[in-house]
Amino acid sequence: MSAKTEFLHEAERLTHDLVHRDRIHNGMWKYYDARARSQGHFQDWQQARILASQTKKAAISRLHEHLVEFEQKATARGTVVHWAKDSEEARKIIFSILERREVKRIIKSKVMTSEEIHLNDHLEKAGYHVLENDLGEFIQQLRKEPPYHFVAPCMHLSMQEISHLFQEKLKTAPTDDPEELTMIARRFLRQTYLTADAGITGANFIIAGTGMISITENEGNARLTGALPKTMITLVGIEKVLPRMSDLALFLPMLATAGTGQPVTCYNTAYGGPRQPGEIDGPEEWHVVLLDNHRTALLADSEQRDALHCIRCGACLNVCPIFKNIGGLSYGTTYQGPIGSVITPHFRGLQDWKHLSGASSLCGACTATCPVKIDIHHHLLHNRRNAAREKPDPLEGFAWRVFARTINKPVIYQIGSKLARFAQPLHRLISATPLDPMRAWTNTRATPKMAAQSFKEWWSARNAGARTPTSASQAGARSFPAVSGKITASKPDAGARAPQTSRDIILARIQEALIGAAVPPFEATTAQKRAVLPAVTDLIPQFAANAEFLRAEFHVCADETAAKAMLAELAAHYGWKKIATHRGTLTDAVLPSSLPVLDATDGYDRFELEACDAGLTECDALVAQTGSVILTARTGGGRALSVLPPHHVVIARREQLLPDLPAAYEFVQQRHGAEWPSLTTLITGPSRTGDIERIIILGAHGPKKLTVVLF
Amino acid sequence: MQITLFIPCFVDLISPQAGISIVSILEKLGHEIDFPEELGCCGQPPFNAGYWDEAREAARPVLRRLRDSEAVVIASGSCGAMLKVFYKELFHGHPEEAEAAALSAKCWEFTDFVVNKLGVTDLGASFPHKVTYHDGCHGLRELNLKKPARQLLEKVRGLELVEMKEAESCCGFGGTFATKFPMISTAMGEVKCASARETSAEFLISADSSCLMHLQGLITAQKQPLKTIHIAEVLTSRS
């Protein structure tokens, strides 16, 4: 069955499924409300979109330079960077790493690029044990179904369906409690973090200037995947570049707002290498696979190049009336919805996938909502034009030619409309029957009734003899060759020696694609970012308000003694039997003396750490604007201490409370820029998931509780 | 001012009353109407289908006929967007490029023209009904016209406007999309009608007859308690 036939079949089925329709529409309402709240906190969302779009446009226009810079910086800290021209090469690279590292068990956080290259199928066929650990992806893996929505993989399922699935596959008791369902998955997946040989992640951003990969998530599964297995592999599309770490201050809140309606996603982690000298945890090896897979072809299309600005927030799906009625699986693509309909024809063939660009009313809701201002719906139109130009449908082409030559010919128009009016009563006899040529309309809709007198008839009756229309000649309309969307300049290094490695080939493809595309470098200044991001007034009250919204605990203590007393109180209140911590000025000062402690300063046993009731860490800074904690592997006791125990407690001084995200990223850059730790993470509230009916449940994989003690 | 009125084919044949109302409003405001009877279509159907050579062929007589007009008023946001926005793209790199740009500058969708060009919001209308308003997508997002229709309706005596949820979401017409993907188009229309009915409005108003043709088709077929009416007809109502 062709992709189009399958699409039509599924669309037919799901548009009639009213349960599905209600579930998706109701789910989206929760998103609209959350998004309106977060977007409302921006001082100027529209200007933020302009800044984000200019940043991405400038970054994409020198993609090759950014990728080379990323490679240099990442390699300098021991990261292995690979270049994959296509799916097959990406799989080959990953397989060779897995074989060399003698991997058997693999855990995967959410990796859309791996769906693109069908990695799971190939891994399973080769005998690997692969487990998805994002809750939604895990559920879809159990269902043997691809993600329904690239941000919300199982939003089409009810709690009952998930309960049945767990009963059948995990032999658990039925429940209609979303919290219990989340905890079933948490318990099931917990051990896998401790025992997996390799972790595979995707990435939200490639940060060229610092040689890092940034991963955005809510559950903590990606953080655990990057903390415990000995080998970490990150598969990322080459278009995900941001020039600087400071760009995150703008992009993280925009991605969260557009994606899920959160002010900032729970965990935004920048990985800067495998475990570094002096660090206590993290993978021995980290491999980053840069994936082209037709992205350079899209890059060469100057008209649609901005589709590579996409940060995969999924907002265009959420507002798309087509998506909401046909659902995500009908598309048959890795990336669903409007952006998927734009890029899939470039990735998988225009003629086979042009129907997705046709299946749109071109309403433009996607373009209006896109945080990076991709001209999504006009690109659907461009795909239609390119498809018709490349291979016109003979019948449809003929029909439009006749239409074009007659519609503005008064005589023919008149005869046609009179005929139509004459035929209308006859049409009623066959309306909506198999004989009806208009049954695509009439099956569900009444035929529009033709007026007894048309506007034109009314006009000429009224103005009989008053004036005659100018008789513009309509003959001799010429066709002109169409302008191609592609760049036609010659190759930069024509005649040069053919490139050898995939790296060289991809870089050459990028350079060729970008001829004439250069735009001046663009960096949103701190002042520009401050003018669009949510306003900050009083630091402590604002941090407190954000903490409350995030369901995090926040205690302001008068001094060190009070902070120590607060820790003792927390220990008693929560009945901690053992806590884990790292040595530091602040942690030493407040550590409850009566409690058994796992000192992780020089390392830890992962099973012992997992059994602790809380992890007490220091941090680099707190962020009033978002209620976030920012810490690094160096300041926060490594990668796992702040995410593996069920309660994360942060101790900080008042002067560590910074106003906003630009200040926080400037601060860590200044503090660590000379020698980056392998992990810098922005923690915003306790771990959470909304994967089951968009109900927020805390403690999906990471800590259920986050407590910040300030003195 | 002499105003050239562009009447799309579906207004001409299916809902001429919308066009007649526009004529009556503009004439009452003291303007002279120039109606190019020989024009039937702006060329949007082949344009949206991807057949741009054919769209250009259909559009050339329009460009030529409107060349000397002082102002062009279009009785539809959708065809308005075609003339004002998409002609520029359609003729980009073609000899008519400059002409398309010149036309764009003097094209107005009807409600935009009345409110923002003529500066009039009160047309003395009276329409004592509870209504809801559907934003046609092209008017809303290509021409950025959220306000003018509401400014006009605000001044209509006895009219109570109740906004529906998702007033800005598409009705599902989308030109040939309605027949190429009828199941999706129908589902979208059903969602729209359900939103409109939730307001318990008696009338669903729009500035786009094409959206209304599709929605009225559904309403009639499903015998829903809702009526559709073009905004120009509301604005000429007297009770």
- Is there a domain that residue B125 lies in? no
Please give the residue of chain B at the shortest CA–CA distance from A363.
Answer: B137
pLDDT of res. A491: 43
Residue ranges of B 192-211 with Cβ closer than 8 A to chain A? none
Examine the domain organization and report whether B6 and B112 are in the same domain.
yes
Examine the domain organization and report whether B80 and B181 are in the same domain.
no
Across residues A267-278, what is the average pLDDT? 97
Sheet holding A241-242, edge to edge: A241-242, A205-207, A212-217, A267-271, A679-683, A628-632, A621-623, A657-658
Give which of B199, B140, B149 is closest to B170, Cα–Cα.
Answer: B140
- Is there a domain that residue B35 lies in? yes
Examine the domain organization and report whether B110 and B149 are in the same domain.
no
Which residues on neighbouring strands pair with residue A552, listed in sequence order?
none
All residues of chain A having their beta carbon less than 8 Å from the beta carbon of residue B48 are 362, 381, 384
Look at residue B47 and tell me whether its pLDDT is greater than 70: yes
A331: which DSSP letter?
Answer: G
- Is there a domain that residue B57 lies in? yes
| SS3 (DSSP) at A187 | helix
Decide if A305 contacts A53 (C-beta within 8 A): no
E strands in A540-602: 553-556, 579-581, 597-599
Decide if B234 contacts B149 (C-beta within 8 A): no
C-alpha dihedral (A460, A464, A470, A475), degrees to nearest 10: 60
How many Å is the maximal CA-CA distance in chain A? 105
All residues of chain A having their beta carbon less than 8 Å from the beta carbon of residue B51 are 388, 392, 396-397, 400, 404
Q: Given CB atoms, is A25 within the 8 Å cutoff of chain B? A: yes
Residue ranges of A 297-336 with Cβ closer than 8 A to chain B? 319, 321-322, 324-326
Examine the domain organization and report whether B137 and B191 are in the same domain.
yes
All residues of chain A having their beta carbon less than 8 Å from the beta carbon of residue B210 are none
- Min mean pLDDT across A334-338, A469-473, A673-677, B117-121 is at A469-473
Decide if B78 contacts B47 (C-beta within 8 A): no
- Is there a domain that residue B122 lies in? no
Examine the domain organization and report whether B82 and B181 are in the same domain.
no
pLDDT of res. A515: 87
Residue B20: domain span: 2-117
Q: Which domains does chain A have, with CATH numbers?
A: 1-41+303-391 (no CATH), 62-296 (3.40.50.10420), 400-448 (no CATH), 533-710 (3.40.50.10420)
| SS3 (DSSP) at A626 | coil
Q: Given CB atoms, is A403 within the 8 Å cutoff of chain B? A: yes
Q: What is the pLDDT of residues A616-630, one digit of tens each?
A: 999 999 999 999 999
What ipTM was estimated for this complex?
Answer: 0.96
Q: Which of B45, B186, B221 sits opposite A446 (nearest CB)?
A: B221
- Min mean pLDDT across A82-86, A461-465, A525-529, B69-73 is at A461-465
- Is there a domain that residue B200 lies in? yes
Give which of A137, A217, A156, A221 is closest to A186, Cα–Cα.
Answer: A221
- Is there a domain that residue B144 lies in? yes
Look at residue A479 and tell me whether its pLDDT is greater than 60: no
Examine the domain organization and report whether B186 and B225 are in the same domain.
yes
Q: How far apart are CA B140 and CA A363, in angstroms?
A: 9
Examine the domain organization and report whether B15 and B77 are in the same domain.
yes
Examine the domain organization and report whether B9 and B113 are in the same domain.
yes
Which of A303, A357, A444 would you mutate first to test chain B, the one with the most B CBs within 10 A? A444
The reply to whether residue B38 touches residue A472, judged by beta carbons under 8 angstroms, is yes
Examine the domain organization and report whether B8 and B113 are in the same domain.
yes
Domain C-terminal end among B117, B150, B165: B117
Type of residue found at A87: S
Please count the structural domains in chain B: 2
CATH code of the domain containing B149: 3.40.50
Q: How far apart are CA A211 and CA A207, in angstroms?
A: 6
Give which of B72, B61, B67 is closest to B34, Cα–Cα.
Answer: B72
Examine the domain organization and report whether B189 and B227 are in the same domain.
yes
pLDDT of res. A264: 98
Examine the domain organization and report whether B111 and B143 are in the same domain.
no
All residues of chain A having their beta carbon less than 8 Å from the beta carbon of residue B13 are 417, 420-421, 450-451, 454-455
Q: Which of B51, B175, B185 sits opposite A400 (nearest CB)?
A: B51
| SS3 (DSSP) at B175 | coil
Q: How far apart are CA A63 and CA B87, in angstroms?
A: 33
Q: How far apart are CA A120 and CA A141, in angstroms?
A: 9
| SS3 (DSSP) at A83 | strand
Give the CA radius of gyration of chain B: 17
> Residue A496's pLDDT band (boundaries 50, 70, 90)?
low
E strands in A218-310: 231-237, 241-242, 267-271, 285-291
Domain C-terminal end among B56, B86, B117: B117
User: What does chain B come to in residues?
Assistant: 239
- Is there a domain that residue B123 lies in? no
Look at residue A486 and tell me whether its pLDDT is greater than 60: no
Which residues on neighbouring strands pair with residue A128, listed in sequence order?
none
All residues of chain A having their beta carbon less than 8 Å from the beta carbon of residue B93 are 480, 482-483
Q: Given CB atoms, is A603 within the 8 Å cutoff of chain B? A: no
Domain C-terminal end among B95, B117, B139: B117
- Is there a domain that residue B47 lies in? yes
Look at residue B129 and tell me whether its pLDDT is greater than 50: yes
Give which of A480, A460, A479 is closest to A468, Cα–Cα.
Answer: A460
Look at residue A164 and tell me whether its pLDDT is greater than 50: yes
Across residues B95-124, what is the average pLDDT? 97
| Cα first-last separation, chain A | 66
DSSP conformation letters of A265-278:
-SEEEEE-SSSPTT
Q: Which of B35, B58, B214 sits opposite A407 (nearest CB)?
A: B58
Examine the domain organization and report whether B135 and B95 are in the same domain.
no
Host H or E run for residue B107: strand B107-109
Separation in Å, CA A651 to CA A112, A555, A588, A596, A698: 36, 10, 10, 18, 21
